[in-house]
Amino acid sequence: MARPPGQCSPAVVLALAVILEGVDGTRVDVIVGLGNPGRRYRYTRHNLGFDVIDALACRYNIPMQQHEFQAICGQGCVGLRVVLLVKPQTYMNASGHAVAPLVRRYRQASEQLVVVHDDIDLPLGKIRVRQQGSAAGHLGVRSLIECLGSEAFVRIRLGVGRPPHKEGIVDYVLSPFAAEEMDARDMLIAQAVACIEKTLGAGGA
């Protein structure tokens, strides 16, 4: 019988308990969504990473109630993989200061880190996965690279497009999606969740 979303096998439950005890050598996948904390930034283009983490947490019944190293976290399962979902609370440009200690805490090499973020260089609704590389102008990703000392982590880039007129980039990414963009936004979040499942080899629920 198939297990409902978020329900782990007994072996995975045991592995999760081991992780919580901090035993060396146990694998946990760290999934980070980049964004800014606070109500004023909710549902903005720059907070798509947070929205994806919320959608993933909802799909797999993972409570986001843990506060650790300047981040809101949730521990649970995506398919048969044990994961730590992370929403840094340091503001976008200092995201690495929250993420790097978590990577060290959970004994993860940077290759086992998946980061979800908005990208103005991709058209709205486009999604692209990179295994490693430079920050490409994204200050949140730059902070991660600087604090981790490595570019070798998976990025799931979510296209929000560039401002259609002469609006500044900062004002654009910190503004909510327009009403006519909401369907594309919702589809992008759903595609990002599916992409994370594929990246983890979870194959959905």
Long-range contacts of 172-181 (CB under 8 A, 24+ apart): 172/45, 172/120, 173/44, 173/45, 173/46, 173/118, 173/120, 174/36, 174/41, 174/44, 174/45, 174/46, 175/44, 175/45, 176/43, 176/44, 176/45, 177/43, 177/44, 177/45, 181/124
- The one catalytic residue in 46, 97, 117, 138 is 46
The answer to whether 46 is a known catalytic residue is yes
Give CA–CA dist 31/28, Å, rounded: 10
Active-site amino acid positions: 46
